[in-house]
Each structure stands twice: as structure tokens, then as C-alpha cells.
């Protein structure tokens, strides 16, 4: 059994890691840290874990994590780049769920996240953790930067078109919706029930932190810079991402065959039959992204619909998928949960 640690286990991505790893056939939770909850049983904070873990939260320290084979950082931006290098120096692998190691251009990181990067040497070595597009590099990585929730859905929707060279890379649109849990567990007036229930709104139209990440990765898929309009929206649901992505075709192509071929061997991506409209509820609680591809009637526009659970395939489940690859385990280990319906 591999020994796993979690830094920052009190947020939504932290508890998702706990839920998934508690049932993982090849992993044991060795330590979970929290400055604010140190000494408290994990199951007291998250009663859904009663009977599944006897762990207590502990103060974050290198010693608490020293016996781990791999450590997840489910922390705010800035924490992993300060603390992960010491673990990496001891041979402990790291998966970071924050944005600390996602962007290659550290000036862009400072522009969007408002802080200077303190570990540029590891930022250069980090591997971007989207297995469907980067599996071989993840297998050999010491440090993996788990993608954001929106970037995961948008990349899985648009990458096959860009890699095949059948759409214009400078005319891409991603119109995306997220459940409220994507904002995190911290108290915020804007995410109170009375503020979001029976309402729907766009946000970050002038610029969202996931924009440079998505643009960076789509440019790699296209082999050229991309022009992307990305607009996120907040929806009155707890979990889920729905991305409606548009691109302009440059040649006629069998779109259904293209997507089915691109993801034929990908167990975590489900290309639905032609004409389908995937629903967020079909993937709630699962590590699956469902896609459907359409051609807009009378137009050269292709429309790709992508749905995922923002806390699973969009965060913690994908991080465990990366962990499995990094530690030589079955990629799908611990990730077999079926979406919750109704």
C-alpha cells in the first residue's frame, strides 16, 4: 500500500480526496494537515467519513508528511510553491491542486494571481496533469500540477479539433457554467444560498484566472497561439461544470468519428452518440467527463458540449488519476464511482 498525505484537508477538494482515497484499493491515508483544525477527528468535521477513517487533523510540518510516498496540496494559491520543494527534495512526489505550477510563464502567473513565484525551478519541472493529453509525462513526474475545473472541460472539448487541424485556432469560444462549490468552502456573501438560488449570472468577463491556463494548453494542442473568448457563469447548483465550446471549421470532417477516435481508449471520457445533450447530473460524484459534438445548422461552427463534476474530474478525482499514474498503479483505481441520479 502506498502512503498518502494531504495538506489542507478542510476544503471541498480536500474532503473529496478523503472520500476517494478512503476506498482506494492500493492507498492508505497517512496524514492530513490543517492549522485551524489540528487535533480534531476528521470525521467530526465531515460526518460522511465516519467509519471510513480514524485520522485526526495535524499541524502541517515536514515531519508529519515524511513517511508519505505522495502528498496532495489542496490549499490556496501560494502554499504549495512554498512548502512542496522540501518534500520533493526528500523524494516525496507531489500533486498540487492549486494554480501554483500550472502556468509556464511566471510573469503571467504574477499578473493573474498577484504574487511572485517563489519556486521557479520547480515551476519549470512541473508536469501538467491532464492524463488524456499528457499521460506519459505524468507517469515519470515528481511534481504534477492538477488542472483547473474549467480548463479540464474546455481542453477535452476542443483539443481533438485543434490537434486534428480542422478548426481555426484564433476563433474559439468557451461558454461555461459552474456549480457554487467551485468557489470553495470559505464564507462569501456572493455564494450564500439566498444570493445564488433562483439566479444565474456571468462573472469574470473582463478576465478570469483560468483564461491563461486554458490558452496555454490549447496552444500546445494546436501548435500555434490561440484566440479564445472564455466566459464563466455561476449556476444555482452545488456541483457540476457545463462547457459549451465553439470553433470555426476549416474543412469538412466527420466530427463524431473524430471524437470517438480521439477518446476510444480513454475510460474517463465518454463521447455520447450523435445528437446527444449531456447533463451535469449524469456525472455528479464520478470522475467522468461526458462530451457531445454537434455542427450548428447552416454554419461552419462546431459546438462541443462537455460536462463534469468540478470537484472530481475537475479537481480531486483527476488528481487521484494522476497519483495512480505517478505511483505505477491502475489509472482507474479508486475512481469507479458511478454518477449519482437522481
CA distance linking residue 227 with residue 57, whole number of Å: 45
Chain centroid to CA 4: 19
Across the range 262-282, mean pLDDT stands at: 98
- Given a cut of 80, whether residue 52 has pLDDT beyond it is yes
Same domain, 74 and 201: no
Across the range 169-196, mean pLDDT stands at: 90
pTM passes above 0.75: yes
Pairing between strand 301-308 and 241-249?
antiparallel
Is 333 contained in some domain? no
The percentage of residues in the chain with a pLDDT greater than 90, rounded to a whole number, is 91
Residue 7 φ/ψ, nearest 5 degrees? -100, 120
Same domain, 197 and 51: no
CA distance linking residue 319 with residue 316, whole number of Å: 5
Give per-residue pLDDT as tens, 3-14.
999 999 889 999
Is 21 contained in some domain? yes
- Given a cut of 90, whether residue 342 has pLDDT beyond it is no
pLDDT in the model for residue 61: 80
Across the range 218-233, mean pLDDT stands at: 98
pLDDT in the model for residue 88: 97
Question: Total domain count for the chain?
Answer: 2
pLDDT in the model for residue 233: 97
Across the range 188-196, mean pLDDT stands at: 87
Same domain, 22 and 112: yes
Strand order from edge to edge, sheet including 228-234: 201-202, 228-234, 167-178, 241-249, 301-308, 289-295, 269-271
Q: Which of 68, 92, 125 is the last residue of a domain?
A: 125
Is 249 contained in some domain? yes
DSSP characters over 160-207: HHHHHT-EEEEEEEEEEEE-GGGG-SS--GGGSHHHHTT--EE--TT-
101 touches 319 (CB < 8 A): no
Same domain, 239 and 97: no
Is 138 contained in some domain? no
**CATH number, domain with residue 178:** 3.30.360.10
152 touches 316 (CB < 8 A): no
What pLDDT band is residue 235 in, cutting at 50, 70 and 90? very high
Q: Confirm whether 149 is a catalytic residue.
A: yes
Is 181 contained in some domain? yes
Chain centroid to CA 226: 21
Count Cα atoms within 13 angstroms, Cβ side, for 28: 7
286 touches 341 (CB < 8 A): no
- Given a cut of 90, whether residue 173 has pLDDT beyond it is yes
Q: What is the average pLDDT score of the chain? A: 96
- Given a cut of 80, whether residue 189 has pLDDT beyond it is yes
Is 292 contained in some domain? yes
Is 145 contained in some domain? no
pLDDT in the model for residue 309: 98
Cell readout for 293 is: 459534438
Cell readout for 31 is: 496524514
Across the range 273-280, mean pLDDT stands at: 98
Q: Which domain holds residue 271?
A: 150-312
Is 142 contained in some domain? no
CA distance linking residue 188 with residue 86, whole number of Å: 33
Same domain, 158 and 102: no
122-131, 183-192, 193-202, 290-299: lowest mean pLDDT where? 183-192
Same domain, 295 and 190: yes
Q: 68, 149, 176, 322: which is the annotated catalytic residue?
A: 149
Partners of residue 267 on adjacent β-strands: none
pLDDT in the model for residue 32: 94
Same domain, 182 and 77: no
Cell readout for 50 is: 465516519
What pLDDT band is residue 188 in, cutting at 50, 70 and 90? confident
94 touches 142 (CB < 8 A): yes
Partners of residue 309 on adjacent β-strands: none
Same domain, 299 and 177: yes
Same domain, 73 and 116: yes
- Given a cut of 80, whether residue 187 has pLDDT beyond it is no
What pLDDT band is residue 170 in, cutting at 50, 70 and 90? very high
Across the range 86-111, mean pLDDT stands at: 97
Same domain, 121 and 160: no
Grid-cell match 499578473, residue found? 111
pLDDT in the model for residue 300: 96
Same domain, 38 and 154: no
**CATH number, domain with residue 94:** 3.40.50.720
Same domain, 203 and 155: yes
pLDDT in the model for residue 41: 95
Across the range 253-269, mean pLDDT stands at: 98
Amino acid at each position: 500500500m502506498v502512503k498518502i498525505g494531504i495538506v489542507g484537508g478542510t476544503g471541498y477538494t480536500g474532503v473529496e480526496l478523503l472520500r476517494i482515497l478512503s476506498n482506494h484499493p492500493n492507498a492508505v491515508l497517512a496524514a492530513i494537515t490543517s492549522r485551524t483544525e489540528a487535533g480534531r477527528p476528521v470525521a467530526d468535521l465531515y460526518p460522511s467519513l465516519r467509519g471510513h477513517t480514524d485520522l485526526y487533523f495535524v499541524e502541517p510540518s515536514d515531519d508529519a508528511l515524511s513517511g508519505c510516498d505522495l502528498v496532495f496540496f489542496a490549499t490556496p494559491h501560494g502554499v504549495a510553491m512554498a512548502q512542496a520543494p522540501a518534500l520533493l527534495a526528500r523524494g516525496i512526489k507531489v500533486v498540487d491542486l492549486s494554480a501554483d505550477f500550472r502556468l509556464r510563464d511566471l510573469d503571467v502567473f504574477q499578473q493573474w494571481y498577484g504574487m511572485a513565484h517563489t519556486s521557479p525551478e520547480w515551476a519549470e519541472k512541473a508536469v501538467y496533469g491532464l492524463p488524456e493529453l499528457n499521460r506519459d509525462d505524468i507517469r515519470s513526474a515528481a511534481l504534477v500540477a492538477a488542472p483547473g475545473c474549467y480548463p479540464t472541460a474546455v481542453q477535452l472539448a476542443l483539443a481533438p479539433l485543434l490537434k486534428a487541424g480542422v478548426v481555426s485556432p484564433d476563433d474559439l469560444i468557451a461558454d461555461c457554467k459552474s456549480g457554487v462549490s467551485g468557489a470553495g468552502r470559505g464564507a462569501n456573501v456572493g455564494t450564500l444560498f439566498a444570493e445564488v438560488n433562483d439566479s444565474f449570472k456571468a462573472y469574470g468577463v473582463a478576465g478570469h484566472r483560468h483564461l491563461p491556463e486554458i490558452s496555454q494548453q490549447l496552444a500546445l494542442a494546436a501548435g500555434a497561439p490561440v484566440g479564445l473568448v472564455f466566459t464563466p457563469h455561476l449556476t444555482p447548483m452545488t456541483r457540476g461544470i457545463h462547457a459549451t465550446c465553439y470553433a470555426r471549421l476549416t474543412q469538412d470532417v466527420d466530427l463524431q468519428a473524430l471524437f470517438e477516435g480521439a477518446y476510444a481508449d480513454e475510460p474517463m471520457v465518454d463521447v455520447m452518440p450523435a445528437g446527444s445533450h449531456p447533463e451535469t447530473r449524469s456525472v455528479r460524484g464520478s470522475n467522468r467527463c461526458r462530451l457531445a459534438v454537434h455542427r450548428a445548422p447552416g454554419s461552419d461552427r462546431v459546438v462541443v458540449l462537455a460536462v463534469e463534476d468540478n470537484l472530481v474530474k475537475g479537481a480531486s478525482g483527476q488528481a487521484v488519476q494522476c497519483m495512480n499514474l505517478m505511483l505505477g498503479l491502475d489509472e482507474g483505481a479508486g475512481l469507479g464511482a458511478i454518477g449519482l441520479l437522481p
